[in-house]
Homo-oligomer: A and B are copies of this chain.
Amino acid sequence: MTKDIEQRLKSKNIKPTAMRLLVLDFLMQQNTAISLNDLEKGMGPSDRITLYRTLKTFEEKGLVHHIEDGTGTTKYALCMEECDDHHHHDLHVHFYCNNCKETFCLPNTKIPQISLPEKFRSEEMNLVIKGVCDRCNPG
């Protein structure tokens, strides 16, 4: 089981240190995107900056993507398998729940094609939808 995590790191060219195994393990247990703070609290006692840099490394290597959900604090979530180093999260939608304040990836909800004005060229897209999530929605 640790083997899987280790393998996942190696496949992205990330040296599997103890810290990184822990962080990745923790990330894999989440079903929402989390902030650096959440990570710090969720892990055992560990250095905030190291966690920060770990996330950054993960992001550079295409293991994690970050989300600006409009709250002002950056959230992080694991990439789906298809991501490579340079194209994360371009396609799927993120959802911020106004009720529980959680941020979700909606990996199956893709951003449709948008036709831009003349001479604008698109390289990345980022769509955040705010509303009420399935768990907070009555009925």
Contacts and interface: CB of A to CB of B under 8 A. Distances in A.
Interface residues of A, number: 34
A30 interface: no
A4 interface: no
B131 A119 contact: no
Interface stretch (A10-18, A49-57, A75-83, A121-129): A121-129
A61 interface: no
A108 B115 CA distance: 10
Contact of A93 (B70, B93, B95, B114): B114
Given A68-B68, A116-B106, A133-B120, A125 B126 contact: no
A117 interface: yes
A131 B121 contact: yes
Interface in A80-139: 93, 95, 98, 106, 108-109, 111-112, 114-134, 137, 139
Interface of A: 68, 70, 72, 93, 95, 98, 106, 108-109, 111-112, 114-134, 137, 139
16 contacts: A68-B68, A68-B70, A68-B72, A95-B116, A95-B120, A106-B116, A109-B114, A109-B116, A109-B117, A119-B137, A120-B132, A121-B137, A123-B131, A123-B132, A125-B127, A127-B127
